[in-house]
Structure 1
C-alpha cells in the first residue's frame, strides 16, 4: 500500500466513529478508495504496455505475445500501431488467451513451427526483482510463456508498480508456480518441500471442482518458499525432478522491464550486464 493510500485510510477511519450509520458511510468510502486503487493499477498497466510496445516493436517483426491482464493493453496498442502505421507484424501467442486476443484484434497469427525465432516477446509478470528475475505463472501459462520468451532475441516485461520488488517474495505471496505431469504431483511436492523448505500446494480451480489444468493438460503446484534463494540454482534443481515440466522462475531471461507507476510515469529497468 502506498503512503498516500495509507494516510487516506487513516483519515477515513478517524472521520467515522463506530456507529451503525457511520460504519455504513465508512464502508462506502473505503469501497470507493479500493475502486480508485484498482483503476490506478489498470492505468499503470496500460501505460507500461503502451510504452513497451512503442519502444520495442518495429515494422517487419515477429512478436511473441504473452498472457495475462497486462498483455491485453499491449495487444490493444499493437493493433493500433498496425492500423495507423501499416506495420507488417506477425504474432506468436503463449496461450489460448493470447491467441484469441491476436485474432480478435485482426493481427496476423503464427506459431513457432513457422517462426521459430522471434524478434521480441512482450509478457507480464507476477513479480520482478532488482536483477529482473521473475515469478510468472499466476495464470497457469508459464511453460508456453517460457518457450516463447526463450525463442525471442529480446524479452520485455510489462507490469504495474505492485509487481516491482527488490527481492522475490516481497510482493508476490502466492509462491512459485511449477507445472507438473498429473501423476507426479505428490512426489514432486514432497521432494521440493524436503529439499528447499516451505509449503507446496496443488492449485485448485475456482469455478470448477478439482485442480487447475494447464493448456498442456498438466497440473500446477504453488511453492511458497520461506527465504531468498539462489534462483538460478533452484530453478535448475527443480527442473531436474522427474515429473516437473517447467517452473515459473524466469532467471536471466528478461532484458528490460516497464513498470507503470502510481504517479503516472513509467519506470524502465534494464537487466544487469553479465560479467
Structure 2
C-alpha cells in the first residue's frame, strides 16, 4: 500500500500571504494571494495517520461471499526544499523518518515491516505537481500483458487499492491555488483525467473553496476545502476476456494554512471508492466482483 505519501505530499512548502487593505470608510473583505514558497534547505516535519477499510463481495455456488480488509499506519516525514526556480517552481524531497503499519480484517491484525521511503516532487508555486519520482526499498515488478490476460481481475491493473491510490494521487497533484487573490467564500475548479486501463479514461473534477478563517492551536488558519469526484465507466478486451469496470471515486480534503507563519498546520482527508468489475469470456461464466473502500487520513505539522 503506497497511499501515505499522498497525505505527506500535501503538507509541504509554505504560503505567501498578501492582503488588500480596506478602503477608507468602506470596509472590504480581506483577500489572500496563496503561493507555495520557501528557500533551498528549508525543512519541515510532519506526522501522518491513515486508515483504510475495504469490503469486497463475489458470487460463489453457495451465494455471495464477503471479504474484509483493514490497513492502519502512522509515520513521521521530513520535507526539505531542494531548489526554487526563478518562476517559483519548487523541488521538494520527502523522506520517511519512522513509521509503522498493520493489516488484517479489523479484528486480527498483523504488523508489517517498515520500509524506507523517499519521494521528490516538482510543483508550481500554486501547488500543481508537474513531476514526481518515488524511491523505495525494492522495485515493484511490472506485469506483462500476457500475465494480465491469464486472469485479469487478479492483476494489479484491476486491484481496488491501486485505483484508490492512483485516482487520489492524480487529484492531489492537480489541486492548485487560483492565479488571483481570494477571499472567504471564493471557489474554483480544476478538471483533469487519468487513463486507468487501456479503455477506461476517468474524468476527475476538483471543486475547491476558501471555506473560512479559524483558530487552530492558537493560530489563525485559512481553511481550503477540495471536493473530488470521478465517475468510472470502461471496458477492456484482455486476451480472451472482456473486463468491464464501473463505479465512482469521491474524496474530501481540508487543508489548514497559517498565514502569519506562511506554513501549513494540518490536513485532513477522506476518500471513498465503489468499484464493480465484471469479467466474461467465451465458454466461461460471467463473474462480477464489487469493492467498497473508505480511507481517512490526517497530517499535522510537528515543528
**TM above 0.5, one fold?**
no
TM-score normalised by the chain length of structure 2: 0.26
Larger radius of gyration: 2
TM-score normalised by the chain length of structure 1: 0.28
- Structure having the larger proportion of residues in strand: 2
